[in-house]
Structure 1
Amino acid sequence: MIVIIRIDENVGVILFKIKFTTMLSDKQKEIILSTVPLLRAGGVALTTHFYSRMFTHHPELKNLFNMGNQQSGKQQTALAMAVLAYAENISNPAVLMPAVDLIGHKHTSLNIQPEQYHIVGTHLLASIKEVLQDLATDDVLDAWKAAYGQLAELMIGHEAKMYESKKQTNGQWVGWKNFKVLKKVQESTEITSFYLVAEDGSAVPDFTPGQYISVQVFLPNINLHQIRQYSISCAPNKDYLRISVKRERNEKLDINGMISNFLHDEVHQGNVVAISAPAGNFTLQNLFPKKVFISGGIGQTPLMSMLESLNQSTKSNELVWIHACRNAEVRAFADQIESIAKEDQKLKQHQFYEVVNETLAGKEVYEGMLDFSKIEKWQFDPEAEYYICGPKPFIEKAVKELTDNKINEKYIFFEEFGPKSI
């Protein structure tokens, strides 16, 4: 059976043409819905058991999964939320298509292959049986086997199209490719930029401002390869890709912190790292001339790519840059943004610091956390695009203020680093 699903997401169009070899029966959908209370109450216990089981049988997958998020429990929680959402919407999968597209970008960035879906399915079904025990009747297991099979078909089909698109996009590739560090530039006391070029001298790939690349490194401390996504922090160009990485300074680093510090301490000019082709759907739209960029900390990196690309554009855009961080010492790209503002009088910038030195005080510098009411003559413009990136609480607060002030959700775009929980 072929199902075509066309939806408008943030006024963009996502088209899925899905060929299912099997479809869930009405009875199986009812059974899936009947398990929703169990998933709400014990979803994290189920996904925790699942990951433990899968890694026991397939320890090589630890090189693919984010073991820092495993350690913190974020990945188990994110998967539990995803399974619950799928069960709740089993009769209307179109609701989940934006999430499918988001995950598809992540999976193609990690070079996920169809056979790995079989591994996940095997251990997910086994975990349902082992965790639910007597509640996991044959009918329940059959229904979830069919439901997972249908979801896997959807994901594999969508990702196949994305892989094919990479083969046809200028300079892109499938899998991993070695890039050399052309130079390292310290942007602040915490953030360093890495300029990357293909080791084989091939062209810099095309990408859309806001996208990311995956970087694969080997961590001797845990004897594993680990992969992390870093937003491309420059506009598309023919010379290099740039990522900008924040150093973690906690004395007890988790695995995520180990990777950022490894890049800062062990990866130097001339060294080679393996990266995947650009991916991600947090990208510039073309809905209104006015763009408002709102960032917290290292969340400014994808927005820098957008800002630089608009600065190079011949189109007339009204741009607003709002950034919040602890202090001037940790702020990155201050000189670049100031330079763009001098070139383009339509760019207005506003900076929030937790602590403001007297020498920095001015009408565009504010003390405290992000607070729109502190910005002189601030107005929530309904005919503007709003791009938000930063820590989860920062994003949630900004989105709430925007929606509370009648900004349509269709014009609000945000990127949450790590497992999606918003």
Structure 2
Amino acid sequence: MATAKTLQRQDVAQPTGPVSPPATLKPAPSVTPEQIAIVKATAPVLREHGVAITTLFYKNMIDENPELKNVFSLTSQATGAQPRALAGAVLSYAMFIDDLPRLRHAVERIAHKHASLQIVPAQYDIVGKYLIEAIGLVLGDAATPPIVDAWTAAYGVLASVFIGREHTLYEEARTRDNNKGWAGWRKFRVQRREYAASPDEEITGEKDGILSLYLAPVDGKPLPTYEPGQYVSLQVFIPEFGVFQSRQYSLSQAPRAAGDYYRISVKRDNGNNGLTEPGRISNLLHKEIKEGDEVELSQPQGEFVVEETPVPTAENAKKPASTESLAPLVLLSAGVGATPVMAILETAAQQGRTISWLHGSHSRSVLPFSKEVQAIRAAHPERILTHTVLSTDEEAPAATSTAGDPVVTGTHLKIAEMADTDRKRLLFLDDARTGYYICGPSSFMVESRDTLQGLGVAPERIHLELFDTGDL
């Protein structure tokens, strides 16, 4: 059984992140029009050789800078997910270097993740060195001096964008709620373990379920609030690897005024029938971490937050928003995608919004947050709708959710296959203010997004939370 001592070894050099961001930033580098043209011209080459470049880049950089094993996910390195994601990002940058607003969403998402991992400006210099070297090694003679110079300048511009944005995120995190925030990694103690769905009797916990951990700061100081839908990075020491590893977990509860704990909810990853390895961190949290043990968290980050605000009118412009002026929300989730959505639901209900939550799970035994959703639904039956779909074909007499709404069984949640009457009732398509928040497996999110756009929903009103490495 792991203990707090073995999970936080003090004799191993631990990345602490920025104690404080730099007071001033370096002048932003620039790239010439000629260099922009060269970078754009390399896009076909990157499409063909991008993964080879990024795979070599990560290998050489981590081999020669082993302390970075504490920063990068060893699982994503082993599966190739990280090199593939970076190759896609580099290709996108080459294609749109002269139209950077096209990349705004990707930059924002990556910057939030970097801030949660405590990335510092000096690490961008390391990345730049090995990335440019990898381009030269893979392309050989095709990497002419003008191409190398153009990519060096282009990387400098992109690094400057990230450094500036992350500087702002660090400042915002530390000064949040009258300076209750922090920078670096902060120790938290597991105050309580609680399963968000019925436990499986095979182990002490669940085979495929979701475990909620209530984490209180060891220093006892009040915690800052956060935006519902945001996440924290959790860091633990992995003895068999000899390094620290971090994973991002959504805060699965509305912010507490008391600021006494954060709650995360973690699905146990058992691997994919031998095709992929079980999740090391999720299994550690489910099977080894116990109440009283310590982990470390970074400050809340993430851009999957409610953006819909009241529509200003002459009547409400100078007074607090009424419940009628608040934009309705449609929440779409599948599996563990319920975790950030739960925090959004709880907060939006407190605000008086009209909400519809459609969720898909494998079975009732892994249906998360049932009691909490039931209580919220019962308290606001006129404003909150829920719709549950279970992929297993459960008995009809049991097929009602704990919120009192019917449950569809034996299928998956696909809004493209819903009846028109259900879509009209649950998706609020007639209200142009409605915001749509989707979280779950990538295929589910893409299908839901494409269907909503096909139904006339503007892309800017559709928001996705991506758990995996990469982008959609």
Q: Measure how far apart 1:205 and its partner are.
A: 1.8
Q: Is the 8 A contact 1:67 1:255 kept in 2?
A: no
Aligned match of 2:464 in 409, 414, 417?
A: 414
Q: Determine if the alignment matches structure 1 residue 258 to structure 2 residue 280.
A: yes
Q: Is the 8 A contact 2:252 2:341 kept in 1?
A: yes
Aligned match of 1:365 in 407, 413, 430?
A: 407
Aligned mates of 1:198, 1:21 — CA distance in 2:
38
Q: Measure how far apart 1:192 and its partner are.
A: 0.8
Q: Determine if the alignment matches structure 1 residue 180 to structure 2 residue 189.
A: yes
Corresponding residue for residue 276 of structure 1:
298
Corresponding residue for residue 441 of structure 2:
391
Aligned match of 2:347 in 309, 330, 334?
A: 309
Corresponding residue for residue 354 of structure 1:
391
Q: Determine if the alignment matches structure 1 residue 335 to structure 2 residue 371.
A: yes
Aligned mates of 2:465, 2:61 — CA distance in 1:
29
Q: Measure how far apart 1:283 and its partner are.
A: 0.4
Aligned mates of 1:32, 1:337 — CA distance in 2:
51
Give every structure 1 segment of 4 or more consecutive aligned residues whose post-TM-superposition deviation is greater than 6 Å: none
Which structure 2 segments of 5+ residues have no match?
A: 1-24, 200-208, 310-325
Post-superposition Cα deviations, 1:196-249, rounded to whole Å, max 9, x if no partner, equal 111010002210000000000112232321100000000000232100011123
Aligned match of 1:222 in 225, 241, 252?
A: 241
Aligned mates of 2:240, 2:195 — CA distance in 1:
25
Q: Is the 8 A contact 1:247 1:257 kept in 2?
A: yes
- TM-score normalised by length of structure 2: 0.82
Q: Is the 8 A contact 1:20 1:150 kept in 2?
A: no
Aligned mates of 1:311, 1:29 — CA distance in 2:
48
Aligned mates of 2:60, 2:459 — CA distance in 1:
39
SS of 1:169 mapped into structure 2: helix
Corresponding residue for residue 115 of structure 1:
122
SS of 1:226 mapped into structure 2: strand
Q: Is the 8 A contact 1:50 1:127 kept in 2?
A: yes
Q: Determine if the alignment matches structure 1 residue 161 to structure 2 residue 182.
A: no
Aligned match of 1:325 in 358, 361, 373?
A: 361
Q: Determine if the alignment matches structure 1 residue 149 to structure 2 residue 156.
A: yes
Aligned mates of 1:145, 1:159 — CA distance in 2:
21
Aligned mates of 1:354, 1:225 — CA distance in 2:
37
Aligned mates of 1:419, 1:266 — CA distance in 2:
25
Aligned mates of 1:387, 1:21 — CA distance in 2:
35
Corresponding residue for residue 378 of structure 1:
423
Q: Measure how far apart 1:22 and its partner are.
A: 3.3
The number of residue pairs the alignment matches comes to 403
Aligned mates of 2:174, 2:422 — CA distance in 1:
48
Aligned match of 2:264 in 243, 265, 270?
A: 243
Post-superposition Cα deviations, 1:166-189, rounded to whole Å, max 9, x if no partner, equal 221122111100011110001223
Identify, as 1 or 2, the structure richer in strand: 1
Corresponding residue for residue 64 of structure 1:
71
Residue identity in the other structure for 1:305? A
Residue identity in the other structure for 2:392? V
SS of 2:422 mapped into structure 1: coil
Larger displacement relative to structure 2 (174-183 or 252-261): 252-261
Corresponding residue for residue 85 of structure 2:
78
Aligned mates of 1:88, 1:248 — CA distance in 2:
36
Identity between Structure 1 and Structure 2 (%): 38
Corresponding residue for residue 47 of structure 1:
54
Which structure 1 segments of 5+ residues have no match?
A: 1-17
Aligned mates of 2:94, 2:266 — CA distance in 1:
37
Post-superposition Cα deviations, 1:57-76, rounded to whole Å, max 9, x if no partner, equal 11111111011111111111
Q: Is the 8 A contact 2:86 2:470 kept in 1?
A: no
Alignment root-mean-square deviation, CA: 1.7
- TM-score normalised by length of structure 1: 0.92
Corresponding residue for residue 344 of structure 1:
380
CA distance change for structure 1 residues 256 and 413 in 2, over 3 Å: closer, same or farther? farther
